[in-house]
Structure 1
Amino acid sequence: MQTLNVELGERSYPIYIGVNGLRQPDLLRQHLTTSKVIVITNEVVDVLYGAQVMDLLNGLDADKLVLPDGEEYKSLASFERIMTHLLELNAARDTTLIALGGGVIGDLTGFAAACYQRGIPFIQIPTTLLSQVDSSVGGKTAVNHPLGKNMIGAFYQPKAVIIDTMTLCSLPRREFSAGMAEVIKYGIIYDAELFNWLEQHQQALLDKDQTTLQEVVRRCCEIKALIVAKDEQEKGLRALLNLGHTFGHAIEAEQGYGNWLHGEAVATGIVLASTVAQHKNWLDASELCRIVELLKAFNLPVAAPQGMGYERFMQHMRHDKKVQANRIRFVIPEGIGSAVVTDDVDEALLKEILDAS
């Protein structure tokens, strides 16, 4: 079991990465400092791992809430359901929430923990690749709204993140591929060596080789922890983690949350942002080709939904949380391994690219 730390002073916490973490009671229980524990999960994950996690809590005052599965349930209605459950149980500040699932469950649970009685502890147990390499680390919590993704939320750090890479063996191929979009993102914005490594280890990753999975999860968490430690509330460096997300969130909103998986929309967004970079001569054509080919190798879409052109993209992107002074900010690569945040993207160029996508 490997351990990394997110260094945030009094709010610092460990990330555990390895196999069979869900079979080690002490790993979880050392971070339970309250008398009551409530596991929040969804219907799919509950069948796979719900009983296993409840066994880790044997002898404690533990309860479980099972929500429907799907991005469309990352909503204020689900948030209210969690609040109602906590109130019905007379939960107080001596309660810890455990998020058992992917990014939807992690974000919902974290937001609920941030809000209930102005803050109670929570622990992340991510079970998807996307949540293991990205959303479980860093304290971003939120719910979606029909007018915008992740517009309602809070920065609120967990007490620990426990990553059992064995859970990825039960992950459907499409969900695994969606997670790879976030992995590839790290290589583009921060680590050219990681990008090269991914090109060389495509088959081992697709085969879900445990040694390879642990290596890629560790490196992504390492990068994320470093960035969050420097910029917890996304006032600078952390915004680079949004590569592909401005375009991607627009696709999700247009298509309906859950119809395109988050990682699928981000993959297409990465291609669009990289195409902008290539037109601005920030990215070589050969680098754009490498990005597209690596995304395609993991069965990710590299073109926007048919019929979704400039006007539809702009309608959604104007509601993006990264908009400042009515200007849309984009994360644009400056080459594989580096990126910048800029609002200097000509609308005529955007129209040309989006209408052709």
Structure 2
Amino acid sequence: MAVIPVALAGRAYDVMIEEGLLARLGEAAAPFLASYAGGRKVPFVADANTYRLYHAAVDADLAACGFAAEWFVVEPGENAKSWRVLEQLTDWLLALGVTRKDHVFALGGGVVGDLVGFACAITKRGCGFVQLPTTLLAQVDSSVGGKTAINTGAGKNLIGAFHQPSLVLIDPLVLGTLPDREMRAGYAEVLKYGLLGDAAFFAWLEANGDKVLAREPAALEHAIATSIAMKARIVAEDERETMDRRALLNLGHTFGHALEAETGFSDRLLHGEAVAMGMVLAARYSARRGEISHEDADRATRAVAAAGLSASLTALGLACDGAALVDHMRHDKKAEGTTLPFLLLRQLGEAYVARDVDLADIAAFLDGELGQ
């Protein structure tokens, strides 16, 4: 088992990685179940797909440990991160009598984790929660670090809070049921860690990415553990993104969120797919500015394409120009007045925050990438 501490002052927690953890949930999460002794049901939140796959195993394991689960099931997809579902979930938690000493269990991908985390941040002014991520993207990114949010008509993740989990349990075996498209989308976030801060890990992924995508146990655990260890270090240094350190985790996201907005935050473009394309654009724009070589930008592009992810903006078939994408960027929550910081590359394995980017130049660059 790999155990990675997230060392936050006064509220450190562990990320545990081991095959079969979900089947041993009662044992692995025992300290966070203790408040339910005596017959109270343990609140679990899952999307419909995850519930169908895993609720029977979870129920059986909890029963063997003397507990019973009560389930709140949401529909799969970003629509679950809404005011409506948040209200339903918080009302459900209050009806169950959840207290600040209790923990709510989030079983699913990033949507479930974000929704549950935010609900727990505001219920009773803060109750605990345990992350049980079931997608690669959630395992290496959204389950760690305490960013929680819902979406609104103004954009994605604009209403939220920093609320750290008490424990993250990662079972790589659950990725066996993950569709290949979702696996590739999650792998984009793994690539991100290499590009933003670990050139050696990026080179390892160039050589071993196919093994990770094929879910080979040793390669998969190494990729997950390395990604989480980097995120844990960054979060410990800059928990609330008040400095540029945590902002590095947004590599690919400014471009990517604009692409998600243009495609209606739909299944047409998954978040990880948008981030992958965003990293390609960040690398190519960094080369345009003369900060990395075109050869390095091509290397980043090849790594994305080798994973079966789109590395060409024209392939997305967008009916817009660069100015329209820039307009989406202006709503980014990282916007500062009339400026917008961009995550760019000084070299492969070294990202930085650029605050001197001309949005007109971004629009012109995107026009070129769109073939206009």
Compute the TM-score of the two structures, normalised by the length of structure 1: 0.97
Which residue does 1:293 correspond to in 2?
Answer: 302
Which residue does 1:349 correspond to in 2?
Answer: 361
Deviations 1:219-260 (A, max 9, x none): 000000000000000112000000111111111122112321
Which residue does 1:185 correspond to in 2?
Answer: 192
Among 342, 356, 361, which residue is 1:330 paired with? 342
Structure 1 residue 94: Cα displacement: 4.1
Among 273, 279, 289, which residue is 1:280 paired with? 289
Structure 1 residue 61: Cα displacement: 5.2
Which residue does 1:242 correspond to in 2?
Answer: 250
Q: Would the aligned equivalents of 2:210 and 2:307 in 1 still touch at CA under 8 Å?
A: no
Aligned residue type for 2:333: K
Aligned residue type for 1:28: A
Structure 1 residue 136: Cα displacement: 0.3
Once the two structures are superposed, the pairs formed by residues 1-357 of structure 1 within 5 Å of their partners are 1-24=1-24, 25-35=26-36, 36=40, 37-58=42-63, 59-60=66-67, 62-236=69-243, 237-259=245-267, 260-304=269-313, 305=316, 306-357=318-369
Of the structure 1 ranges 221-230 and 141-150, higher mean CA displacement relative to structure 2 is found in: 141-150
Of the structure 1 ranges 218-227 and 247-256, higher mean CA displacement relative to structure 2 is found in: 247-256
Deviations 1:300-335 (A, max 9, x none): 112333223222212211110100122111111111
Aligned residue type for 2:44: V
Q: 1:266, 1:251 → 2: CA distance?
A: 9
Structure 1 residue 348: Cα displacement: 3.7
Of the structure 1 ranges 32-41 and 338-347, higher mean CA displacement relative to structure 2 is found in: 32-41
Q: 1:49, 1:308 → 2: CA distance?
A: 41
- What secondary structure is seen at the aligned counterpart in 2 of 1:4? strand
Q: Percent identity?
A: 42
Structure 1 residue 26: Cα displacement: 1.0
Q: Would the aligned equivalents of 1:271 and 1:292 in 2 still touch at CA under 8 Å?
A: yes
Of the structure 1 ranges 2-11 and 251-260, higher mean CA displacement relative to structure 2 is found in: 251-260
Q: Would the aligned equivalents of 1:242 and 1:331 in 2 still touch at CA under 8 Å?
A: yes
Structure 1 residue 5: Cα displacement: 0.2
Aligned residue type for 2:28: L
Structure 1 residue 53: Cα displacement: 2.0
Q: Would the aligned equivalents of 1:250 and 1:313 in 2 still touch at CA under 8 Å?
A: yes
Q: 2:257, 2:155 → 1: CA distance?
A: 8
Aligned residue type for 1:18: E
Q: 1:90, 1:15 → 2: CA distance?
A: 28
- What secondary structure is seen at the aligned counterpart in 1 of 2:347? coil
Aligned residue type for 2:86: F
- What secondary structure is seen at the aligned counterpart in 1 of 2:118? helix
Say if 1:199 and 1:140 are closer, same or farther in 2 by CA, change over 3 A: same
Structure 1 residue 84: Cα displacement: 2.1
- Structure 2 unaligned blocks of 5 or more: none
Q: 1:349, 1:275 → 2: CA distance?
A: 13
Q: Would the aligned equivalents of 1:275 and 1:353 in 2 still touch at CA under 8 Å?
A: no
- What secondary structure is seen at the aligned counterpart in 2 of 1:179? helix
Say if 1:338 and 1:197 are closer, same or farther in 2 by CA, change over 3 A: same
Q: Would the aligned equivalents of 1:146 and 1:253 in 2 still touch at CA under 8 Å?
A: no
Q: Would the aligned equivalents of 2:326 and 2:363 in 1 still touch at CA under 8 Å?
A: no
Q: 2:35, 2:338 → 1: CA distance?
A: 44
Q: Would the aligned equivalents of 1:318 and 1:328 in 2 still touch at CA under 8 Å?
A: yes
Deviations 1:277-297 (A, max 9, x none): 001111111111111111111
Structure 1 residue 77: Cα displacement: 1.8
Number of residues paired by the alignment? 357
Q: Would the aligned equivalents of 2:325 and 2:363 in 1 still touch at CA under 8 Å?
A: no
Q: 2:258, 2:79 → 1: CA distance?
A: 15
Structure 1 residue 88: Cα displacement: 2.9
Q: 2:359, 2:99 → 1: CA distance?
A: 51
Structure 1 residue 74: Cα displacement: 1.8
Aligned-residue CA RMSD (Å): 1.3
